[in-house]
Amino acid sequence: MNIELRTMEIDDYDLVYALWKESEGLMLNADDSRECVIHFLERNPALSFVALDQGKLVGAALCGHDGRHGYIHNLAVKKNHRKQGIGKSLVGRCMFELIKLGIHRCHLYVESGNQDGISFWKKLGWEQRVEMISMSQPLRS
Ligand SMILES: CC(C)(COP(=O)(O)OP(=O)(O)OC[C@H]1O[C@@H](n2cnc3c(N)ncnc32)[C@H](O)[C@@H]1OP(=O)(O)O)[C@@H](O)C(=O)NCCC(=O)NCCS
């Protein structure tokens, strides 16, 4: 299989969103809307990637940073393309680009029930931060 990785563009949104929707383990919300993804890609240019098999979108990863740490969101690979190294390649490319920008730690969120996702990240060497919990609050204008 000849998989090509390229930068995610907003024109990919419909196919990427369809992939996210069919991917178990991802919790989609308002932050995954087209408007929010436009904002995210503009703020984090050339850090998010799609994987293409003969031009057909089979994987995607959103990646950004806040100047201190990188973040990877919504990594997904089409079911019939899994276990062929595509997820690992997408993550590797995101991290390579973060390192080039001087970012030396990357975080991500995995739904606590997503055992397959957690196993994948652990296989890639990521460590669960048991000493921390995640907290958040919606911001209203
Ligand atoms: C998680 C996901 C992106 C992995 O993509 P993938 O292309 O199948 O992963 P890769 O083929 O690159 O796997 C890389 C390594 O992880 C291993 N791996 C992949 N899925 C695994 C799993 N469920 N459990 C354990 N190991 C796994 C592979 O065997 C491979 O190991 P190797 O390097 O020793 O050969 C894919 O299963 C997916 O889209 N899941 C649904 C969405 C999701 O849960 N995303 C992650 C949460 S943010």
Atom of ligand 1 nearest to the CA of 91: 12
Q: Say which DSSP state 109 is in.
A: -
In 3D space, the residue among 21, 72, 30, 78 whose CA is nearest the CA of residue 48 turns out to be 72
Q: Domains plus CATH for the chain?
A: 3-123 (3.40.630.30)
CA of 29 to the centre of ligand 1 (A): 23
Pocket test for ligand 1, best of 77, 120, 126, 128 (most atoms within 8 A of CB): 120
Would the CB of 88 count as within 6 Å of ligand 1?
yes
**3-state SS, residue 70:** strand
Token pair recorded at residue 33: 């809307």
Average pLDDT of span 83-88: 98
Q: Is the pTM of this model over 0.75?
A: yes
Cβ distance 87 to 77 under 8 Å? Answer: yes
Average pLDDT of span 124-137: 96
Cα separation of 98 and 94, whole Å? 6
Cβ distance 111 to 75 under 8 Å? Answer: no
Token pair recorded at residue 77: 């690979």
Would the CB of 48 count as within 6 Å of ligand 1?
no
What is the percentage of the chain residues whose pLDDT exceeds 70? 100
Which residue CA neighbors atom 46 of ligand 1 most closely? Answer: 117
In 3D space, the residue among 35, 34, 36 whose CA is nearest the CA of residue 17 turns out to be 34
* pLDDT of res. 5: 98
* pLDDT of res. 66: 98
Would the CB of 107 count as within 6 Å of ligand 1?
no
Pocket test for ligand 1, best of 28, 78, 82 (most atoms within 8 A of CB): 82
Q: What is the pLDDT of residues 35-75, one digit of tens each?
A: 999 999 999 999 999 999 999 999 999 999 999 999 999 99
